Amino acid sequence: MSLWFGDVAAIDLTAMASGTLIENLGIEIVELRDDALVGRMPVDHRTVQPAGVLHGGASVALAETLASWAGYLAVDRERFHVVGQEINANHIRPMFSGWVTATATPAAIGRRSHVWEVRIADDAGKLVCISRCTLAVIEQRSTYTTADERGSA
């Protein structure tokens, strides 16, 4: 049984990411499983700190992006909107180049809040960061839109 609400195949997350931090960091959604959302982010000049390693803030941005997209896909978007309420992250190992892949899975899905676990791994599948993100579920139509609809194309 799938976590997702309604016809998620018709939702273009890439179009919604245009003109946002998501696009600027190079975050891409790569797979929508029945039980998880998977995305990736390059470890390059946009996402490293001055020491040349993946910036912890970039990992947190990736984690919150995946958790927020997952929450968005898991609710009735005509009735609910999700927003990040709390996030934490443990940085396990450094990354210098390549890609990190993040997998968001639900720890708890409630009517008013969601908790998502996001595991970020390197190209070899080794854990780089683990994060937990709590989303508030607000009773209002979702305001996620494309850049054209936001007027910021």
State the distance between the two ends of the chain, measured CA to CA, in whole angstroms.
Answer: 37
Is residue 149 flagged as an active site residue?
A: no
Residue 73 backbone dihedrals phi, psi, to 5 degrees: -75, -20
Choose the catalytic residue: 28, 64, 78, 117: 64
Q: In 3-state terms, what secondary structure has residue 69? A: helix
DSSP code for 54: B
Whether 15 and 29 have beta carbons less than 8 Å apart is answered as no
Catalytically active residues are 64
